[in-house]
Amino acid sequence: LPIFFGMFLKRKILHSNIRTKEVVDKSYNQSTWKTVLETKSWENKHSLSDFLNSNIENNVESDINFKCILLMNSRLYQTSVLNRKKLHTQLITELIKKYTKNSDEIVEIGCGYGLNLFSLVSQGLENSMSGCDISPNSITTGKKINDTFNCNVKFDIVDITKNLNSMDLKDKTVISFHSFEQIKYYTDDVINDLIDAKVSQVIHFEPISELYGITARDISSFLYIKARDYQDNLLHTLKNFEKIGKLKILENYRLGYAETPFH
């Protein structure tokens, strides 16, 4: 709590760590996704499952049995990176199956190199799938992985804060997984563009601070979001659009799951 509160005050006082496009680019395109691309770890894997079960979480391949902490059923557990990956895939797959039909086309915005889409393919989903991201390095990586394992997933470079209308999203299911987290200052615009695109539905897997309570864990998570200048107005914005009849919120609830204790 003191650390996150101190980070939050520092950002407010110095106006630093504002989540601009430049900050996101430096954190992902020039760092995480660039390093993943350079590892080319998919080249020495026999199958898509082997690749997904390898540990490139920290940008280099390391011990898949390395211990980590995750939140499951609202409790903290120590487990292996491999088990965390399997739980992630299971959760994503179950929820996508719950809200979609086999005939639905699925598009992930802010997809990174396509981890979620490839995970769905590995679980046997036969939906038509595609992903977009602002990062050239992540899209290049996704295309190379797709070509290696013949996944039939399409990738495009798209800045969803200004070029979302370049995509054909009509009647499609859109997924956001920690991507709205990065675009706090463009929430209204992107939601409005999704509405204009006449999407069928949007499934958000995002940290929603509006649902946090007053427990020590929730307070620290809230301060973490504030300190890092992550998304803090998604549900509020969606409700405002719902009030004027532009969309309908079908469900919103806490999963009780996160791959790090901070979310």
Is residue 111 classed as helix, strand or coil in its secondary structure? coil
Give the β-pairing of 153-157 and 67-72. unpaired
What's the pTM? 0.92
Give the number of other Cβ atoms within 10 Å of residue 22's Cβ: 10
Residue-level pLDDT, tens digit, the chain, 263 residues: 788 888 778 777 776 678 888 889 988 999 989 988 998 989 989 999 999 988 665 444 456 778 889 998 888 999 988 898 899 999 999 999 999 999 999 999 999 999 999 999 999 999 999 999 999 999 999 999 999 999 999 999 999 999 999 999 999 999 999 999 999 999 999 999 999 999 999 999 999 999 999 998 899 889 889 888 999 999 999 999 999 999 999 999 999 998 887 77
Closest C-alpha among 186, 175, 187 to residue 131: 175
Residue 20 vs residues 4, 48, 55, 129, 231: alpha-carbon distances, Å: 20, 34, 29, 29, 12
| CB neighbourhood size of 132 (10 A) | 25
Distance CA 202, CA 108 (A): 10
